[in-house]
Amino acid sequence: MPGSRNEQFPARFFLLAFVLTWLTWLPGLLARIGIIVLPLPFIAFFFVGTWGPFAAASWCTYQEGGRKALRAFWRRGLNARFPLRWWLVIFLLPLLVAALPLGLHLLAGGSAPEDTLLSQPWMILPVFLTYFFTGGGNEEWGWRGYALDRLQSRWSPLGASLLLGVIWGAWHIPLFFIEDTGQFHMSLLAFLLAAPSVSILHSWVYNKTGGNFLAAWILHSALGTAWEFFPIVQPGLAGYARVHILDLAAVSLLALIVLLIVGPQLGLQASPAIPERT
């Protein structure tokens, strides 16, 4: 384990993750203000940018432990051995977070969403795989796979999760100014307020599965998929903004319930093991 607690804060990882991703997304911002014309749809730049945390985590792992540590890190990301009940939790949580707010909105007489995937259930697997490989779930190689253990070795799991949620939320900020993204139509403030709660849920799953960040990767992908089928934004649909607010409340409530049940340790049983520097 690193020689001092200060070395455990992954500042280099966060800086590299932001730089790699934001540089990839920068053409989208430049295109929106008319400085350049993109040779490809922005979605191609978006997909590449989501791998920024993975690239940053891999580089930092290699720098700290060489090829052996890097291979071990990659193997961790492919470890699907965790209890069956957590597979159920991973797929039920997104339904609660996404379907419940929309259901409450409809029960209150709100307008139904238009042009969504709700009528195309056969698209669940393709959408999930898109999120898994390129749509955001792959970020978990960095957030949970690399950063969380280091933050939890320095602060409590709750404190580490809140800090990681703030950083993770900020990492998304450029997307709110690029028109060809889902975030463009969201409330930036609501997103930033929800990010720490979403981080708590991911940390809880990660810790309770013994530090299995494939579990967090699947959860992140399932959340994205659920929000595609039970959308939280519908531009131009009067009154639909309520769904976004209800979603924030649902995420916050679930995070609070988890805290009340498992406490601020969020299921962490022992101090996380961090590879020695070489």
Which of 6-10, 60-64, 201-205, 226-230 bottoms out in mean pLDDT, i.e. has the lowest?
6-10
Of the candidates 246, 13, 261, the one whose C-alpha atom is nearest the C-alpha of residue 145 is 13
Q: What is the pLDDT of residue 118?
A: 82
pLDDT range class, residue 136, cuts 50, 70, 90 = confident
* Predicted confidence (pLDDT) at residue 78 exceeds the cutoff of 50: yes
Q: What is the pLDDT of residue 1?
A: 33
* Predicted confidence (pLDDT) at residue 276 exceeds the cutoff of 60: no
pLDDT digits (tens, 9 = 90+) for 84-98: 999 999 999 999 999
CA–CA distance, 17 with 151 (Å, rounded to integer): 16
The rounded percent of the chain whose pLDDT value lies above 90 is 82
Q: What is the average per-residue pLDDT within 198-224?
A: 96
Which of 5-14, 143-152, 187-196, 230-239 bottoms out in mean pLDDT, i.e. has the lowest?
5-14
pLDDT digits (tens, 9 = 90+) for 98-109: 999 999 999 999
Q: What is the pLDDT of residue 274?
A: 63
Of the candidates 90, 225, 84, 199, the one whose C-alpha atom is nearest the C-alpha of residue 147 is 199
A 10 A CB-CB count for 81 gives: 8
* Predicted confidence (pLDDT) at residue 63 exceeds the cutoff of 90: yes
* Predicted confidence (pLDDT) at residue 7 exceeds the cutoff of 60: no
Please state, rounded to an integer, the average pLDDT across all residues of the chain: 91
Q: What is the pLDDT of residue 135?
A: 86
pLDDT digits (tens, 9 = 90+) for 23-46: 999 999 999 999 999 999 999 999
* Predicted confidence (pLDDT) at residue 278 exceeds the cutoff of 50: no
pLDDT range class, residue 114, cuts 50, 70, 90 = confident
Exposure class string for 99-113: b at 16+ Cβ within 10 A, else e: ebbbebbeeeebeeb
Q: What is the pLDDT of residue 3?
A: 34
Please give the model's pTM, rounded to 2 decimal places: 0.92
* Interhelix angle 84-107/188-208, nearest 10 degrees: 150
DSSP state letter for 271 = P
Question: What is the maximum alpha-carbon separation in the chain?
Answer: 61
The rounded percent of the chain whose pLDDT value lies above 70 is 94
pLDDT digits (tens, 9 = 90+) for 16-25: 999 999 999 9
